[in-house]
Amino acid sequence: MVRVRLSRAGSNIYMLQIKSKYKIAKRLGNQIFEQTQTQKFSLAEARKPIKKTRGRGNKSDYGRQLIEKQKVRYTYGLSEKQLSNYAAAAFETKNPPESLHRALESRLDSAAYRAGFASTRRAARQMVSHGHLLVNGTRITMPSYRLKASDTITVREGSRTSTLFTHMTDPEAIARPVPTWLSVDPKIMVAKVEGEPGYVAAEIPLDYPAVFEFYSR
């Protein structure tokens, strides 16, 4: 029987502090942070000479699982405790990878990023923590707040003139593609959850099964 380590999440909001996004992205891949998903970063990496490594070229199972777990952690800006709790809850369902993906995507900070309220997930976390967003008319300051179908996210009236949201009403701004489970009206700064985040393993650059393998050791 496979077991997943359980832990209780604290009441305090965890804000992941990352000193060197580029150093982490070089190790885990440029898809981890929005700032490293640029042509400049890719070209810089391509120009670097390939270093010869000593010993075996293939990573151990543990090493591979650790890297995949870290990819998920940094992509969603989670603490080790938070990801462990998400994995433990998802493991109890019929389809753990799908459940984990939906739980992470349904976070308020992730949905705010997907809806185009913020340019990065980190900015979305700060946006929520500072009380700029409402869910069904109620001010929510917890980035991990889980949304459900029919929930409506709006920008607080007092925050609409903030420079944080000027890009939403700028017709020349390049809009990020919005997932089908969200509908967004940038003119009135409103997003509605139309359903659950879709999960197609082949289209997601994260190896969730490896995450469960890591926590099952």
Structure confidence by residue, pLDDT tens digits, 124-165: 999 999 999 999 999 999 999 999 999 999 999 999 999 988
**Tell me, what amino acid is at 178?**
V
Judge whether 21-45+59-105+206-215 and 110-193 match in fold: no
Residue showing tokens 């940094």: 74
For the chain, the structural domain boundaries read 21-45+59-105+206-215, 110-193
Written as six digits, the tokens of 147 are: 């949304």
Tell me the pLDDT of the chain averaged across its residues.
81
The fold of the 21-45+59-105+206-215 domain, in CATH, is: Ribosomal Protein S4 Delta 41; Chain A, domain 1 (1.10.1050)
Chain centre distance of CA 58: 28
pTM attached to this predicted model: 0.75
Three-point CA angle 95, 206, 110, nearest 5°: 85
Give the model's confidence band at 36: pLDDT under 50 very low, under 70 low, under 90 confident, else very high. Answer: low
Q: Residue 69 — φ and ψ, nearest 5°?
A: -65, -40
Tens digits of residue pLDDT in 181-207: 999 999 899 999 999 999 999 989 999
Q: Can you give the pLDDT at residue 8?
A: 42
pLDDT at 217: 85
Q: Any idea which architecture 110-193 has in CATH?
A: Roll (3.10)
Give which of 144, 21, 142 is closest to 83, Cα–Cα.
144
Q: Give the chain's radius of gyration (CA, Å).
A: 19
Q: 199 and 101 in contact (C-beta within 8 Å)?
A: yes
Residues 41-82: tens digit of each pLDDT: 444 544 555 555 454 445 799 999 999 999 999 999 999 999
- pLDDT-based confidence at residue 177 (cuts at 50, 70, 90): confident
CB-count exposure of residue 126 (10 Å: 0-12, 13-18, 19+): middle
d(CA 107, CA 104): 6
Q: Is the predicted pLDDT of residue 102 greater than 70, yes or no?
A: yes
Please report the DSSP string for the chain in residue order. Answer: -------PPPSSPP----S-HHHHHHHH-TTS-GGG-SHHHHHHHHHSPPPP-SS-SSPPHHHHHHHHHHHHHHHHT--HHHHHHHHHHHHTSSSHHHHHHHHHHTBHHHHHHHTTSSSSHHHHHHHHHTT-EEETTEE---TTPBP-TT-EEEE-GGGTTSGGGGGGG-TTS-PPPPPTTEEEETTTTEEEE-SPPP--GGG-SS-HHHHHHHHT-
